[in-house]
Copies of this chain bind each other. A is one copy, B any other.
């Protein structure tokens, strides 16, 4: 046990003042076309006017970070089913050109959130000014600020989460076929990540998908069973290490 100074302002080292923004990395899977998409907005104002960027907002008085993340999401798209979690905080000095320009010299901090939304219901909202669009992950342009870095970080998180947690079932419909789950995994993780037959058996052995017995025909071939995610059966597995693929 030793005596230490309490953190406090040092005359030679003034504290930084911050504006805090929330930037969302919003993913969605267009299952019809097997495309993994990210939502981007076109900036109207400087800095980086006319550049595409992650949808973001500055945090308001009395607003929690997660509320701000939800707000920016609901301003851009209409969604009911989604997964959202905090991603990472980027706060290096100089990451926002406004820091140099503005007289008061505030730093701009970005707390990023990562979201996965159900594509079929994610209707892009029309608003005054600015554009919102889905971009294929292979065709992301140069983005404003350090947003390419943030997006890549989010993509990594997406793949990890998909392999170790049941986020897929947050954006699948209530009733789904096993092939729909498989297509979702393929689209996000890349084509040849696993054999379909083995994927099925591994997934079913986890024990939280229940067969409704209802059969549906999706085009040609034998009709598939509709399954549902059984939250009760999953609950006891929540804190155990699970591999979903």
Chain A interface (Cβ < 8 Å from any Cβ of B): 1-10, 13-21, 41, 43-45, 55-65, 72, 75-76, 86, 88-89, 91-93, 105, 107, 109, 111, 124-133, 163, 241
Contact = CB atoms under 8 A, between A and B. Distances in A.
A35 to B, nearest CB: 16
Contacts of A16: 20, 58-63
Count copies of this chain in the complex: 2
A111 B65 CA distance: 12
A154 to B, nearest CB: 15
Given A19-B17, A60-B10, A3 B89 contact: no
B2 A131 contact: yes
Contacts of A41: 4, 6
Given A6-B43, A93-B63, A17 B17 contact: yes
Given A16-B59, A56-B7, A89 B89 contact: yes
Contacts of A1: 124, 131-133
Contact of A2 (B8, B14, B43, B127): B127
A109 B2 contact: no
Contacts of A64: 91-93
A45 to B, nearest CB: 6
Closest 4 CB pairs of A and B: A7-B57, A4-B130, A18-B18, A2-B124
B111 A89 contact: yes
A12 to B, nearest CB: 9
